[in-house]
């Protein structure tokens, strides 16, 4: 079978994203308008918080209790994917247990996979070059690239058997862990270098 990502076994399936996920666009900015005092804190995930397939941080916003209740449909659960819909459309991240209850930002989509789709597999599928090319081609040509909810829901998703999804998720996630470790080593080494030079120059 020919799929978006190339030839695959005939018993694999390809279906629109809307059939494999519940896809929700983030709330309007008016729904997360901050208040000065007596507010309920909510953690909002914006595109800048998505780094290397992971949610690196969030922004804490104080909203009214009524607004907090209205945001429930935009909250994250473990296994959800969050994707950028305005700006850098190639950024996605996977929510873990520590992100439960956080809010999908205005410029993001939340994807909640159906039980037959492995969330880690879907994350890496969304990062496939052919999928990223499809997203780029279907985004608006405005000054800031934007992907509509209706368009994203038509994205063709390759759905292999569950065992293969899990194997792909395991392999790619293990590689991501190694990449993250090496990034940390580089970061710590750079900090050491920057701290050491002034000491070397003043210790003579």
Task: Give the pLDDT of residue 75.
Answer: 96
**Ramachandran class of 165: left when φ > 0, alpha when ψ lies in -120 to 50, beta otherwise:** alpha
**In contact, 47 and 87? CB cutoff 8 Å:** yes
Task: Give the pLDDT of residue 204.
Answer: 55
**Domain 2-160 belongs to what topology?**
Adenine-n6-DNA-methyltransferase TaqI; Chain A, domain 2 (3.90.220)
Task: Give the pLDDT of residue 8.
Answer: 94
Q: How far is CA 104 from CA 125, 132, 155, 192, in A?
A: 21, 21, 20, 36
Task: Give the pLDDT of residue 196.
Answer: 82
Task: Give the pLDDT of residue 63.
Answer: 93
Name residue, tokens 């039980």: 115
Which segments in the chain show pLDDT lower than 70? Answer: 203-204
- Tell me if residue 204 falls in helix, strand or coil: coil
DSSP string, 72-92: GGGB--TT-EEEESBS-TT-E
> E strands within the chain?
2-3, 6-7, 13-16, 21-25, 40-45, 50-51, 53-55, 59-63, 81-84, 92-94, 103-104, 108-113, 156-159
Work out the burial of residue 144: count CB atoms within 10 Å of its CB; fewer than 13 is exposed, 13-18 middle, 19 or more buried.
exposed
Task: Give the pLDDT of residue 203.
Answer: 65
**In contact, 74 and 149? CB cutoff 8 Å:** no
Task: Give the pLDDT of residue 194.
Answer: 84
Task: Give the pLDDT of residue 106.
Answer: 95
Task: Give the pLDDT of residue 180.
Answer: 74
| Sequence-ordered list of residues with C-beta below 8 angstroms from that of 146, at least 6 positions apart, any chain | 85, 86, 139, 140
- The pTM assigned to this predicted structure is 0.87
């Amino acid at each position: 079978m020919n799929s978006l990502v190339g030839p695959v076994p005939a018993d694999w399936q390809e279906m629109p994203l809307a059939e494999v996920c519940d896809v929700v666009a983030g709330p309007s900015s008016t729904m997360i308008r901050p208040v000065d005092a007596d507010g309920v804190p909510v953690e909002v995930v914006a595109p800048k918080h998505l780094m290397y397939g992971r949610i690196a941080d969030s922004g804490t916003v104080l909203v009214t209790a009524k607004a907090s209740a209205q945001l429930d449909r935009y909250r994250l659960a473990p296994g959800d994917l969050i994707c950028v819909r305005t700006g850098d459309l190639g950024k996605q991240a996977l929510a873990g247990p520590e992100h439960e209850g956080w809010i999908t930002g205005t410029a993001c989509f939340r994807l909640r996979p159906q039980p037959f789709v492995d969330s880690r597999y879907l994350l890496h599928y969304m990062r496939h070059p052919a999928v990223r090319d499809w997203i780029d081609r279907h985004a608006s040509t405005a000054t800031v690239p934007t992907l509509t909810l209706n368009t994203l829901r038509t994205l063709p998703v390759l759905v292999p058997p569950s065992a293969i999804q899990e194997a792909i998720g395991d392999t790619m996630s293990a590689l991501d862990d190694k990449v993250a470790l090496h990034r940390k080593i580089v970061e710590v080494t750079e900090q050491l270098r920057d701290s050491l030079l002034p000491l070397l120059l003043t210790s003579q």
